Structure 1
Amino acid sequence: MRLLIVEDEKKTGEYLKKGLTESSYTVDLADNGVDGLHQAMSEEYDLILLDVMLPKLNGWQILQTLRSNQINIPVLMLTARDQIEDRVKGLELGADDYLVKPFAFVELLARIRNILKRNAKTNVATDTTIQIENLQLDLLRRRAYRDNESINLTAKEFSLLELLMQRKGEVLSRSLIASQVWDMNFDSDTNVIDVAIRRLRNKVDKPYEPKLIHTIRGMGYVLDIINENDNL
Protein backbone atom coordinates (compact mmCIF):
# COMPACT_ATOMS: atom_id res chain seq x y z
CA MET A 1 0.00 0.00 0.00
CA ARG A 2 1.35 3.41 -0.97
CA LEU A 3 0.60 6.45 1.18
CA LEU A 4 1.23 10.18 0.78
CA ILE A 5 1.83 12.40 3.82
CA VAL A 6 1.36 16.15 3.31
CA GLU A 7 2.73 17.73 6.49
CA ASP A 8 4.81 20.89 6.91
CA GLU A 9 6.08 20.17 10.44
CA LYS A 10 9.36 18.42 9.71
CA LYS A 11 9.55 16.33 12.87
CA THR A 12 5.93 15.23 12.60
CA GLY A 13 6.29 14.31 8.94
CA GLU A 14 9.47 12.32 9.50
CA TYR A 15 7.99 10.58 12.54
CA LEU A 16 4.89 9.54 10.60
CA LYS A 17 6.90 8.40 7.59
CA LYS A 18 9.23 6.30 9.76
CA GLY A 19 6.39 4.69 11.70
CA LEU A 20 4.30 3.92 8.63
CA THR A 21 7.31 2.57 6.73
CA GLU A 22 8.04 0.25 9.65
CA SER A 23 4.38 -0.82 9.44
CA SER A 24 5.01 -2.05 5.88
CA TYR A 25 3.58 0.92 3.95
CA THR A 26 5.38 2.67 1.10
CA VAL A 27 5.38 6.33 2.06
CA ASP A 28 6.04 9.62 0.23
CA LEU A 29 6.28 12.93 2.07
CA ALA A 30 5.50 16.48 0.90
CA ASP A 31 6.17 19.48 3.17
CA ASN A 32 3.91 22.06 1.49
CA GLY A 33 0.53 22.23 -0.18
CA VAL A 34 1.67 22.84 -3.74
CA ASP A 35 4.02 19.84 -3.80
CA GLY A 36 1.44 17.72 -2.02
CA LEU A 37 -1.27 18.52 -4.56
CA HIS A 38 1.10 17.87 -7.46
CA GLN A 39 2.07 14.46 -6.08
CA ALA A 40 -1.53 13.54 -5.29
CA MET A 41 -2.65 14.36 -8.83
CA SER A 42 0.28 12.82 -10.66
CA GLU A 43 0.98 9.65 -8.66
CA GLU A 44 -1.06 6.61 -7.62
CA TYR A 45 -1.78 6.43 -3.88
CA ASP A 46 -4.02 4.25 -1.75
CA LEU A 47 -4.49 6.95 0.90
CA ILE A 48 -3.42 10.54 1.68
CA LEU A 49 -2.66 11.87 5.18
CA LEU A 50 -3.39 15.56 4.76
CA ASP A 51 -2.59 18.31 7.26
CA VAL A 52 -4.99 21.26 7.21
CA MET A 53 -2.62 24.16 7.96
CA LEU A 54 -0.03 24.08 5.17
CA PRO A 55 2.11 26.71 3.45
CA LYS A 56 1.32 27.74 -0.14
CA LEU A 57 -1.93 25.76 -0.29
CA ASN A 58 -3.97 24.57 2.70
CA GLY A 59 -5.49 21.15 3.19
CA TRP A 60 -9.04 22.30 2.44
CA GLN A 61 -7.92 23.66 -0.95
CA ILE A 62 -6.04 20.47 -1.78
CA LEU A 63 -9.01 18.27 -0.87
CA GLN A 64 -11.46 20.43 -2.81
CA THR A 65 -9.21 20.38 -5.89
CA LEU A 66 -8.86 16.60 -5.76
CA ARG A 67 -12.58 15.99 -5.46
CA SER A 68 -13.51 18.54 -8.13
CA ASN A 69 -11.17 16.66 -10.47
CA GLN A 70 -12.89 13.34 -9.65
CA ILE A 71 -9.81 12.07 -7.79
CA ASN A 72 -11.35 9.93 -5.07
CA ILE A 73 -8.24 8.73 -3.25
CA PRO A 74 -9.21 8.26 0.43
CA VAL A 75 -8.10 11.25 2.55
CA LEU A 76 -7.47 11.30 6.31
CA MET A 77 -7.29 14.88 7.57
CA LEU A 78 -4.74 15.69 10.31
CA THR A 79 -5.15 18.92 12.25
CA ALA A 80 -4.68 20.62 15.57
CA ARG A 81 -8.08 22.32 15.15
CA ASP A 82 -10.72 20.49 17.17
CA GLN A 83 -13.75 22.57 16.26
CA ILE A 84 -16.98 20.89 15.13
CA GLU A 85 -17.24 23.26 12.15
CA ASP A 86 -13.77 22.23 10.97
CA ARG A 87 -14.66 18.55 11.11
CA VAL A 88 -17.92 19.22 9.29
CA LYS A 89 -16.10 21.21 6.61
CA GLY A 90 -13.60 18.41 5.98
CA LEU A 91 -16.31 15.78 5.71
CA GLU A 92 -18.42 17.97 3.43
CA LEU A 93 -15.46 18.46 1.10
CA GLY A 94 -15.03 14.69 0.84
CA ALA A 95 -12.59 13.67 3.58
CA ASP A 96 -12.90 10.05 4.71
CA ASP A 97 -11.87 10.66 8.30
CA TYR A 98 -10.55 13.38 10.61
CA LEU A 99 -7.87 12.97 13.31
CA VAL A 100 -7.03 15.72 15.79
CA LYS A 101 -3.45 16.29 16.94
CA PRO A 102 -1.91 15.13 19.17
CA PHE A 103 -2.92 11.53 18.52
CA ALA A 104 -1.57 8.09 19.36
CA PHE A 105 0.20 6.39 16.48
CA VAL A 106 -1.76 3.18 17.10
CA GLU A 107 -5.00 5.14 16.57
CA LEU A 108 -3.66 6.51 13.29
CA LEU A 109 -2.83 2.97 12.15
CA ALA A 110 -6.32 1.80 13.09
CA ARG A 111 -7.95 4.67 11.15
CA ILE A 112 -5.79 3.95 8.10
CA ARG A 113 -6.63 0.25 8.15
CA ASN A 114 -10.35 0.94 8.49
CA ILE A 115 -10.35 3.37 5.56
CA LEU A 116 -8.37 1.00 3.34
CA LYS A 117 -10.57 -1.95 4.30
CA ARG A 118 -13.74 0.03 3.59
CA ASN A 119 -12.38 1.18 0.24
CA ALA A 120 -11.39 -2.37 -0.71
CA LYS A 121 -14.91 -3.65 0.02
CA THR A 122 -16.37 -0.99 -2.27
CA ASN A 123 -13.98 -1.88 -5.08
CA VAL A 124 -14.91 -5.58 -5.10
CA ALA A 125 -18.66 -5.11 -5.36
CA THR A 126 -20.15 -7.96 -7.37
CA ASP A 127 -23.08 -5.97 -8.78
CA THR A 128 -21.71 -3.18 -10.90
CA THR A 129 -24.85 -1.00 -10.98
CA ILE A 130 -27.77 -0.10 -8.75
CA GLN A 131 -30.87 1.47 -10.27
CA ILE A 132 -33.98 2.85 -8.59
CA GLU A 133 -36.46 4.59 -10.87
CA ASN A 134 -34.38 7.00 -13.03
CA LEU A 135 -31.46 7.09 -10.57
CA GLN A 136 -28.51 4.88 -11.45
CA LEU A 137 -25.25 4.20 -9.61
CA ASP A 138 -22.24 2.76 -11.44
CA LEU A 139 -20.19 1.10 -8.68
CA LEU A 140 -17.16 0.34 -10.82
CA ARG A 141 -16.72 3.80 -12.29
CA ARG A 142 -18.04 5.50 -9.10
CA ARG A 143 -20.53 7.58 -11.07
CA ALA A 144 -24.15 8.58 -10.50
CA TYR A 145 -26.77 9.36 -13.14
CA ARG A 146 -30.32 10.73 -13.04
CA ASP A 147 -32.39 10.74 -16.22
CA ASN A 148 -29.14 9.65 -17.92
CA GLU A 149 -27.46 12.88 -16.81
CA SER A 150 -24.17 12.58 -14.91
CA ILE A 151 -24.23 13.93 -11.33
CA ASN A 152 -20.98 15.23 -9.85
CA LEU A 153 -20.64 13.70 -6.36
CA THR A 154 -17.82 13.78 -3.85
CA ALA A 155 -16.48 10.43 -2.59
CA LYS A 156 -18.50 10.73 0.62
CA GLU A 157 -21.68 11.74 -1.21
CA PHE A 158 -21.30 8.70 -3.45
CA SER A 159 -20.84 6.40 -0.44
CA LEU A 160 -23.87 7.94 1.26
CA LEU A 161 -26.04 7.52 -1.82
CA GLU A 162 -24.79 3.95 -2.27
CA LEU A 163 -25.82 3.09 1.30
CA LEU A 164 -29.28 4.61 0.86
CA MET A 165 -29.83 2.82 -2.46
CA GLN A 166 -28.58 -0.54 -1.23
CA ARG A 167 -31.02 -0.33 1.67
CA LYS A 168 -33.96 1.07 -0.31
CA GLY A 169 -37.12 1.42 1.76
CA GLU A 170 -35.26 1.06 5.06
CA VAL A 171 -35.21 4.02 7.45
CA LEU A 172 -31.57 4.65 8.39
CA SER A 173 -30.76 6.49 11.61
CA ARG A 174 -28.16 9.25 11.73
CA SER A 175 -25.89 7.14 13.93
CA LEU A 176 -26.06 4.21 11.51
CA ILE A 177 -25.23 6.46 8.56
CA ALA A 178 -22.31 7.98 10.49
CA SER A 179 -20.85 4.57 11.33
CA GLN A 180 -21.38 3.09 7.86
CA VAL A 181 -20.24 6.01 5.71
CA TRP A 182 -17.70 7.78 7.94
CA ASP A 183 -16.80 4.91 10.28
CA MET A 184 -17.16 7.44 13.10
CA ASN A 185 -19.48 8.16 15.99
CA PHE A 186 -20.98 11.65 16.09
CA ASP A 187 -22.44 13.51 19.03
CA SER A 188 -26.22 13.80 18.89
CA ASP A 189 -26.02 17.58 18.57
CA THR A 190 -23.73 17.43 15.52
CA ASN A 191 -25.48 18.13 12.20
CA VAL A 192 -22.91 16.48 9.91
CA ILE A 193 -25.38 13.89 8.63
CA ASP A 194 -28.16 16.43 8.08
CA VAL A 195 -25.81 18.68 6.12
CA ALA A 196 -24.55 15.77 4.01
CA ILE A 197 -28.11 14.62 3.24
CA ARG A 198 -29.13 18.17 2.28
CA ARG A 199 -26.20 18.51 -0.12
CA LEU A 200 -26.92 15.10 -1.64
CA ARG A 201 -30.60 15.96 -2.03
CA ASN A 202 -29.76 19.19 -3.85
CA LYS A 203 -27.78 17.21 -6.43
CA VAL A 204 -29.80 14.02 -6.75
CA ASP A 205 -33.39 15.03 -6.00
CA LYS A 206 -34.01 18.77 -6.33
CA PRO A 207 -33.78 19.03 -10.15
CA TYR A 208 -35.60 15.73 -10.79
CA GLU A 209 -38.79 13.75 -10.26
CA PRO A 210 -39.82 11.64 -8.44
CA LYS A 211 -38.26 12.70 -5.14
CA LEU A 212 -36.43 9.75 -3.64
CA ILE A 213 -34.63 10.86 -0.47
CA HIS A 214 -37.00 11.49 2.42
CA THR A 215 -36.75 12.56 6.06
CA ILE A 216 -38.65 10.46 8.57
CA ARG A 217 -38.99 12.76 11.54
CA GLY A 218 -37.36 11.55 14.72
CA MET A 219 -36.06 8.44 12.98
CA GLY A 220 -33.70 9.21 10.10
CA TYR A 221 -33.67 9.03 6.31
CA VAL A 222 -34.94 6.68 3.65
CA LEU A 223 -34.54 6.39 -0.11
CA ASP A 224 -37.81 5.24 -1.65
CA ILE A 225 -40.84 6.43 -3.57
CA ILE A 226 -43.13 7.71 -0.84
CA ASN A 227 -45.42 10.62 -0.16
CA GLU A 228 -43.63 13.24 2.01
CA ASN A 229 -47.02 13.97 3.66
CA ASP A 230 -46.91 10.48 5.17
CA ASN A 231 -43.71 11.24 7.16
CA LEU A 232 -44.04 11.26 10.93
Structure 2
Amino acid sequence: MRILLIEDDKRLAALTKKVLEGEHFDVDVSHNGDEGVEIALRSVYDVAIVDWMLPGRDGPAVAQAIRAARLSTAVLMLTARTQVEDRVAGLYSGADDYLTKPFSYDELIARIHALGRRVGGVGAVNTWELRIGNIVLDTRTYSARRADRVLDLTKTEWTLLECLMRHPGQTLSRQFIMDYVWSYESTVQPTMVDVYVSYLRNKLSLPGYQDPIQTKRGLGYYLDVDNA
Protein backbone atom coordinates (compact mmCIF):
# COMPACT_ATOMS: atom_id res chain seq x y z
CA MET A 1 0.00 0.00 0.00
CA ARG A 2 1.36 3.43 -0.93
CA ILE A 3 1.24 6.11 1.75
CA LEU A 4 1.86 9.85 1.45
CA LEU A 5 2.80 11.39 4.80
CA ILE A 6 2.51 15.19 4.97
CA GLU A 7 3.97 16.25 8.32
CA ASP A 8 6.13 19.31 9.06
CA ASP A 9 7.67 17.86 12.24
CA LYS A 10 10.67 16.22 10.61
CA ARG A 11 11.56 14.01 13.58
CA LEU A 12 8.00 12.72 13.86
CA ALA A 13 7.81 12.24 10.09
CA ALA A 14 11.06 10.26 10.03
CA LEU A 15 9.94 8.01 12.90
CA THR A 16 6.49 7.47 11.39
CA LYS A 17 8.00 6.61 8.01
CA LYS A 18 10.33 4.08 9.66
CA VAL A 19 7.47 2.44 11.59
CA LEU A 20 5.19 2.23 8.55
CA GLU A 21 7.92 0.86 6.31
CA GLY A 22 8.48 -1.79 8.97
CA GLU A 23 4.86 -2.79 8.31
CA HIS A 24 5.64 -3.08 4.57
CA PHE A 25 3.99 0.18 3.53
CA ASP A 26 5.63 2.23 0.77
CA VAL A 27 5.93 5.73 2.26
CA ASP A 28 6.73 9.11 0.67
CA VAL A 29 7.11 12.18 2.89
CA SER A 30 6.47 15.88 2.41
CA HIS A 31 6.94 18.60 5.04
CA ASN A 32 4.84 21.27 3.31
CA GLY A 33 1.16 21.41 2.40
CA ASP A 34 1.65 22.89 -1.07
CA GLU A 35 4.36 20.38 -1.96
CA GLY A 36 2.25 17.57 -0.53
CA VAL A 37 -0.66 18.44 -2.81
CA GLU A 38 1.66 18.57 -5.82
CA ILE A 39 3.03 15.11 -5.02
CA ALA A 40 -0.47 13.72 -4.41
CA LEU A 41 -1.64 14.99 -7.80
CA ARG A 42 1.37 13.62 -9.69
CA SER A 43 1.37 10.10 -8.28
CA VAL A 44 -1.05 7.54 -6.85
CA TYR A 45 -1.48 6.84 -3.15
CA ASP A 46 -3.88 4.65 -1.22
CA VAL A 47 -3.79 6.83 1.90
CA ALA A 48 -2.56 10.34 2.66
CA ILE A 49 -1.71 11.02 6.31
CA VAL A 50 -2.00 14.79 6.70
CA ASP A 51 -1.10 16.95 9.69
CA TRP A 52 -3.54 19.79 10.38
CA MET A 53 -0.94 22.52 10.93
CA LEU A 54 1.40 22.77 7.94
CA PRO A 55 3.44 25.47 6.21
CA GLY A 56 1.77 26.42 2.95
CA ARG A 57 -1.70 24.89 2.82
CA ASP A 58 -2.99 23.53 6.09
CA GLY A 59 -4.39 20.01 6.47
CA PRO A 60 -8.03 20.83 5.62
CA ALA A 61 -6.91 22.71 2.49
CA VAL A 62 -4.80 19.70 1.45
CA ALA A 63 -7.81 17.41 1.92
CA GLN A 64 -9.98 19.79 -0.11
CA ALA A 65 -7.43 19.82 -2.95
CA ILE A 66 -7.30 16.01 -3.02
CA ARG A 67 -11.09 15.81 -3.15
CA ALA A 68 -11.34 18.55 -5.79
CA ALA A 69 -8.99 16.50 -8.00
CA ARG A 70 -11.35 13.51 -7.59
CA LEU A 71 -8.54 11.29 -6.36
CA SER A 72 -9.42 7.99 -4.70
CA THR A 73 -6.76 8.58 -2.03
CA ALA A 74 -8.14 8.25 1.49
CA VAL A 75 -7.18 11.10 3.83
CA LEU A 76 -6.32 10.54 7.49
CA MET A 77 -6.00 13.82 9.39
CA LEU A 78 -3.55 14.16 12.30
CA THR A 79 -3.95 16.95 14.82
CA ALA A 80 -3.48 17.92 18.44
CA ARG A 81 -6.93 19.57 18.36
CA THR A 82 -9.45 17.67 20.44
CA GLN A 83 -12.59 19.80 20.15
CA VAL A 84 -15.57 18.18 18.45
CA GLU A 85 -15.99 21.16 16.13
CA ASP A 86 -12.39 20.74 14.93
CA ARG A 87 -12.94 17.07 14.12
CA VAL A 88 -16.14 17.93 12.30
CA ALA A 89 -14.37 20.66 10.30
CA GLY A 90 -11.64 18.22 9.32
CA LEU A 91 -14.13 15.63 8.13
CA TYR A 92 -16.15 18.21 6.20
CA SER A 93 -12.97 19.37 4.46
CA GLY A 94 -12.68 15.94 2.86
CA ALA A 95 -10.82 13.83 5.42
CA ASP A 96 -11.98 10.22 5.75
CA ASP A 97 -10.74 9.74 9.29
CA TYR A 98 -9.22 11.68 12.16
CA LEU A 99 -6.50 10.80 14.69
CA THR A 100 -5.47 13.04 17.57
CA LYS A 101 -1.89 13.54 18.74
CA PRO A 102 -0.21 11.95 20.58
CA PHE A 103 -1.27 8.71 18.94
CA SER A 104 -0.40 5.04 19.17
CA TYR A 105 1.32 3.58 16.12
CA ASP A 106 -0.77 0.43 16.55
CA GLU A 107 -3.90 2.55 16.18
CA LEU A 108 -2.45 4.46 13.22
CA ILE A 109 -1.64 1.20 11.42
CA ALA A 110 -5.10 -0.21 12.17
CA ARG A 111 -6.75 2.93 10.79
CA ILE A 112 -4.63 2.79 7.63
CA HIS A 113 -5.72 -0.81 7.02
CA ALA A 114 -9.35 0.15 7.65
CA LEU A 115 -9.12 3.02 5.15
CA GLY A 116 -7.50 0.69 2.62
CA ARG A 117 -10.40 -1.73 2.94
CA ARG A 118 -12.93 1.09 2.68
CA VAL A 119 -11.42 2.78 -0.37
CA GLY A 120 -10.10 -0.36 -2.04
CA GLY A 121 -7.91 -0.44 -5.12
CA VAL A 122 -8.22 -1.43 -8.74
CA GLY A 123 -8.47 -5.19 -8.84
CA ALA A 124 -7.71 -5.44 -5.13
CA VAL A 125 -8.41 -8.72 -3.38
CA ASN A 126 -7.19 -7.21 -0.11
CA THR A 127 -5.39 -4.06 0.96
CA TRP A 128 -1.98 -5.27 -0.17
CA GLU A 129 -2.74 -7.11 -3.40
CA LEU A 130 -3.35 -5.76 -6.89
CA ARG A 131 -4.83 -8.18 -9.40
CA ILE A 132 -5.62 -7.50 -13.05
CA GLY A 133 -6.32 -10.50 -15.23
CA ASN A 134 -3.72 -13.12 -14.37
CA ILE A 135 -1.15 -10.58 -13.13
CA VAL A 136 -0.91 -10.27 -9.34
CA LEU A 137 1.20 -7.77 -7.41
CA ASP A 138 1.82 -8.13 -3.66
CA THR A 139 2.68 -4.78 -2.07
CA ARG A 140 3.77 -6.36 1.22
CA THR A 141 6.49 -8.57 -0.20
CA TYR A 142 7.17 -6.63 -3.43
CA SER A 143 6.58 -9.84 -5.35
CA ALA A 144 4.67 -10.42 -8.57
CA ARG A 145 3.36 -13.33 -10.57
CA ARG A 146 1.60 -13.99 -13.83
CA ALA A 147 -0.63 -17.04 -13.91
CA ASP A 148 1.34 -19.64 -11.92
CA ARG A 149 4.79 -18.18 -12.57
CA VAL A 150 6.61 -15.95 -10.09
CA LEU A 151 8.18 -12.97 -11.87
CA ASP A 152 11.79 -12.15 -11.00
CA LEU A 153 11.54 -8.35 -11.04
CA THR A 154 13.96 -5.69 -9.90
CA LYS A 155 12.54 -2.95 -7.65
CA THR A 156 12.36 -0.57 -10.62
CA GLU A 157 10.55 -3.13 -12.78
CA TRP A 158 8.18 -3.92 -9.92
CA THR A 159 7.34 -0.24 -9.40
CA LEU A 160 6.80 0.24 -13.13
CA LEU A 161 4.35 -2.67 -13.14
CA GLU A 162 2.60 -1.20 -10.10
CA CYS A 163 2.28 2.14 -11.89
CA LEU A 164 0.64 0.51 -14.91
CA MET A 165 -1.64 -1.70 -12.81
CA ARG A 166 -2.92 1.24 -10.79
CA HIS A 167 -3.97 2.94 -14.05
CA PRO A 168 -5.36 0.07 -16.17
CA GLY A 169 -6.35 1.15 -19.66
CA GLN A 170 -5.01 4.68 -19.12
CA THR A 171 -2.25 5.97 -21.37
CA LEU A 172 0.55 7.21 -19.12
CA SER A 173 3.12 9.67 -20.41
CA ARG A 174 6.82 9.02 -19.98
CA GLN A 175 6.99 11.97 -17.59
CA PHE A 176 4.22 10.54 -15.41
CA ILE A 177 5.95 7.16 -15.30
CA MET A 178 9.30 8.80 -14.50
CA ASP A 179 7.78 10.70 -11.57
CA TYR A 180 6.09 7.56 -10.25
CA VAL A 181 8.98 5.13 -10.64
CA TRP A 182 12.02 7.31 -10.00
CA SER A 183 10.46 9.84 -7.58
CA TYR A 184 11.62 12.99 -9.35
CA GLU A 185 15.29 12.01 -9.72
CA SER A 186 16.65 14.69 -12.04
CA THR A 187 19.24 12.44 -13.67
CA VAL A 188 16.69 10.04 -15.17
CA GLN A 189 16.03 10.51 -18.88
CA PRO A 190 12.76 9.65 -20.71
CA THR A 191 14.56 6.93 -22.68
CA MET A 192 14.94 4.99 -19.40
CA VAL A 193 11.17 4.47 -19.43
CA ASP A 194 11.41 2.74 -22.81
CA VAL A 195 14.30 0.59 -21.59
CA TYR A 196 12.46 -0.61 -18.49
CA VAL A 197 9.21 -1.18 -20.36
CA SER A 198 11.20 -3.48 -22.63
CA TYR A 199 12.69 -5.30 -19.61
CA LEU A 200 9.25 -5.69 -18.05
CA ARG A 201 7.68 -6.92 -21.27
CA ASN A 202 10.31 -9.64 -21.52
CA LYS A 203 9.61 -10.83 -17.99
CA LEU A 204 5.84 -10.80 -18.52
CA SER A 205 6.21 -12.83 -21.71
CA LEU A 206 4.82 -16.33 -21.19
CA PRO A 207 3.79 -18.95 -23.76
CA GLY A 208 0.11 -18.61 -24.59
CA TYR A 209 -0.24 -15.10 -23.14
CA GLN A 210 -0.30 -11.77 -24.97
CA ASP A 211 1.78 -8.69 -24.21
CA PRO A 212 -0.29 -6.64 -21.72
CA ILE A 213 1.75 -3.44 -22.17
CA GLN A 214 0.64 -1.42 -25.17
CA THR A 215 2.28 1.62 -26.75
CA LYS A 216 0.45 4.78 -27.81
CA ARG A 217 2.95 6.28 -30.22
CA GLY A 218 4.00 9.74 -29.12
CA LEU A 219 1.88 9.54 -25.96
CA GLY A 220 3.13 6.75 -23.71
CA TYR A 221 2.15 3.30 -22.46
CA TYR A 222 -0.89 1.60 -20.98
CA LEU A 223 -1.86 -1.75 -19.49
CA ASP A 224 -4.36 -3.54 -21.73
CA VAL A 225 -6.78 -5.23 -19.34
CA ASP A 226 -7.98 -7.64 -22.02
CA ASN A 227 -4.43 -8.93 -22.55
CA ALA A 228 -3.48 -9.09 -18.86
TM-score normalised according to structure 1 size: 0.51
1:82, distance to aligned residue in structure 2 (A): 0.9
Corresponding residue of 1:7: 7
Query: Which protein has greater RCO, CA pairs closer than 8 Å, 6+ apart?
Result: 2
Corresponding residue of 2:94: 94
Unaligned runs of 5+ in 1: 125-232
Corresponding residue of 1:54: 54
Corresponding residue of 2:35: 35
Paired with 1:83 and 1:43, the residues of 2 have a C-alpha distance of: 33
Give the 3-state SS of the residue equivalent to 1:3 in structure 2.
strand
- Trace 1:1-232 onto structure 2 (pairs within 5 A): 1-120=1-120
Which deviations, in whole Å up to 9, do the C-alpha atoms of 1:108-163 show, x marking residues without a partner? 01111111112228977xxxxxxxxxxxxxxxxxxxxxxxxxxxxxxxxxxxxxxx
Which deviations, in whole Å up to 9, do the C-alpha atoms of 1:12-59 show, x marking residues without a partner? 100110000010000000011111111011111111000010001111
Paired with 1:36 and 1:57, the residues of 2 have a C-alpha distance of: 9
Which segments of structure 1 move beyond 4 Å, counting only runs of 4 or more? 121-124
Paired with 2:68 and 2:21, the residues of 1 have a C-alpha distance of: 30
Number of corresponding residues: 125
Paired with 2:121 and 2:5, the residues of 1 have a C-alpha distance of: 23
Unaligned runs of 5+ in 2: 125-228
Give the 3-state SS of the residue equivalent to 1:64 in structure 2.
helix
Paired with 1:105 and 1:48, the residues of 2 have a C-alpha distance of: 16
Is the 2:7–2:13 Cα contact (8 Å) retained in structure 1? yes
1:72, distance to aligned residue in structure 2 (A): 3.0
Paired with 1:92 and 1:72, the residues of 2 have a C-alpha distance of: 16
Query: Structure 2: which amino acid aligns with 1:26?
Result: D
1:69, distance to aligned residue in structure 2 (A): 2.1
Paired with 1:4 and 1:121, the residues of 2 have a C-alpha distance of: 16
**Distance 1:40-1:83 versus aligned 2 partners, 3 A rule:** same
Give the 3-state SS of the residue equivalent to 2:57 in structure 1.
coil
**Distance 1:123-1:91 versus aligned 2 partners, 3 A rule:** farther
RMSD: 1.9
Is the 2:67–2:94 Cα contact (8 Å) retained in structure 1? yes
Paired with 1:122 and 1:37, the residues of 2 have a C-alpha distance of: 22
Corresponding residue of 2:200: none
Corresponding residue of 2:143: none
Query: Structure 2: which amino acid aligns with 1:71?
Result: L
Is the 2:72–2:119 Cα contact (8 Å) retained in structure 1? no
Which deviations, in whole Å up to 9, do the C-alpha atoms of 1:62-110 show, x marking residues without a partner? 1111112212310000011111111101111221100000011000011
Is the 2:46–2:121 Cα contact (8 Å) retained in structure 1? no
Paired with 1:72 and 1:85, the residues of 2 have a C-alpha distance of: 26
